[in-house]
């Protein structure tokens, strides 16, 4: 008598799957966008590598092309806030007072002043320290899991909870519907499913005999 319950359960699974697909789609689309933008960042990364051979000369000659003054400071802070301090725990280069963080800030500033874009500067640090250096994991490749997994677990958990509730109420329904005693039995519909003996016991209990 439990077979009929399977249909709603399948429907629930399908609903959960659809929800997952809906959640996954924008993220995947975003990943594709990022991937499309990658050749650009790759070029800038190699530019950065080439520029590294003569860091001081790059700063000297490129001074005119980049930012300066307050705009440079603001942009430096913005990039520094997105980079992880390599010798701290969970702090950005901007927040950290470690010497290495100060030196990284100086490097960021110099690169921005020489005309590199914030994206190129970040790409340079990623090319040296790996994606680990980015406080916010990228939304492509393996790191995409970090973004998707919590949503998957949440939706999956809700799905399981819902299935569990459904199956419990389903069992109760099945218990009622599946009883061979006709609903309009001698003692009325409210106590359907009880034998005469049980019904009289229940009546006595209700009357507090």
User: Can you give the binding site for other proteins, defined by CB under 8 A?
Assistant: 2, 49, 52-53, 55, 86-87, 99-100, 103-104, 106-107, 125-132, 160
Question: Least Å distance between CB 17 and other proteins?
Answer: 15
Residue 12 or 192 having the CB closest to other proteins: 12
User: Which residues 6+ apart lie within 8 Å of 16 measured at CB?
Assistant: 155, 156, 158, 159, 162
Please report where in the chains the tokens 């400071």 appear, as a residue: 73
Residue 49 or 181 having the CB closest to other proteins: 49
Question: Least Å distance between CB 145 and other proteins?
Answer: 11
Residue 98 or 192 having the CB closest to other proteins: 98
Residue 28 or 127 having the CB closest to other proteins: 127
Question: Least Å distance between CB 132 and other proteins?
Answer: 5
- β-partners of residue 92 are 84
First to last CA, the chain: 36
Question: Least Å distance between CB 163 and other proteins?
Answer: 9
Dist. CA 209–CA 205, nearest whole Å = 6
> What is the CB neighbour count within 10 angstroms for residue 161?
10
Dist. CA 125–CA 105, nearest whole Å = 11
């Amino acid at each position: 008598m439990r077979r009929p319950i399977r249909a709603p359960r399948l429907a629930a699974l399908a609903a959960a799957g659809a929800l997952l697909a809906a959640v996954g789609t924008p993220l995947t689309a975003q990943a594709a966008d990022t991937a499309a933008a990658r050749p650009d960042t790759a070029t800038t990364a190699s530019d950065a590598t080439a520029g590294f051979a003569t860091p001081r000369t790059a700063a000297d000659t490129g001074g005119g092309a980049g930012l300066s003054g307050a705009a440079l400071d603001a942009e430096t802070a913005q990039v520094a806030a997105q980079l992880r301090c390599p010798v701290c725990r969970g702090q950005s280069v901007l927040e950290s007072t470690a010497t290495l963080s100060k030196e990284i800030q100086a490097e960021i500033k110099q690169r921005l002043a020489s005309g590199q874009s914030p994206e190129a500067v970040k790409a340079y640090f990623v090319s040296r320290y790996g994606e680990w250096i980015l406080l916010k994991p990228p939304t492509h490749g393996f790191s995409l899991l970090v973004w998707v997994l919590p949503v998957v677990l949440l939706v999956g958990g809700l799905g399981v909870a819902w299935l569990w509730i459904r199956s419990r109420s389903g069992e109760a329904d099945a218990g009622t519907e599946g009883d061979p005693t006709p609903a309009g039995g001698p003692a009325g519909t409210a106590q359907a499913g009880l034998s005469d003996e049980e019904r009289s016991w229940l009546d006595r209990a209700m009357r507090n005999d």
